[in-house]
Amino acid sequence: MTPYWDEEEVDDGADGMVRPYTITRGRTAPERDDLTLITLLTTVQEPVDAYGAPVRPGRLQPEHRMILDRCRRPAAVAEVAADLDLPVSVTKILLGDLVEQGLLSARAPLSVARAAGGADRGLLAAVREGLRRL
């Protein structure tokens, strides 16, 4: 007996939910609550642990590697999420993994701006416009 629907045309919408759940290994919320949309992230060039020993990263997923590549230049959480085409909540979980492993540094944007001599209004306007497009 054949089904009354064409199996190739059936779309139950599950694809959109399975992938993020799989990427985060079942976690639905980030462990860190200090990552905001404008937190700046940078890949650590030569990561070391608390004792000064080189960090050997654990098993990284493709998304983790993409984040590390993207953050070779400072990027905001919102930018990383947009580049990965993932929800911000999923991106925050992945970012937290990398920060915890010492492979990624996260800085509040104001501390970075102060260290650089002040906030660049043009950059802030560009970030605001980028966030509006999300």
Q: Average pLDDT of each block of 10 consecutive residues along the chain (134 residues)?
A: 44 52 66 82 83 75 90 94 90 90 84 60 82 83
Residue 1's pLDDT is 47
Residue 80's pLDDT is 95
pTM: 0.63
**What backbone torsions phi and psi does residue 45 show, to the nearest 5 degrees?**
-65, -50
Any idea which residue has 């139950």 for tokens?
12
CA distance 86 to 78: 10
CA-to-CA separations, 29 to 21, 78, 93, 102, in angstroms, rounded:
11, 16, 7, 20
What single letter denotes the amino acid at residue 72?
R
Which residues, other chains included, contact 29 with Cβ-Cβ below 8 Å and sequence gap of 6+? 89, 93
Residue 119's pLDDT is 62
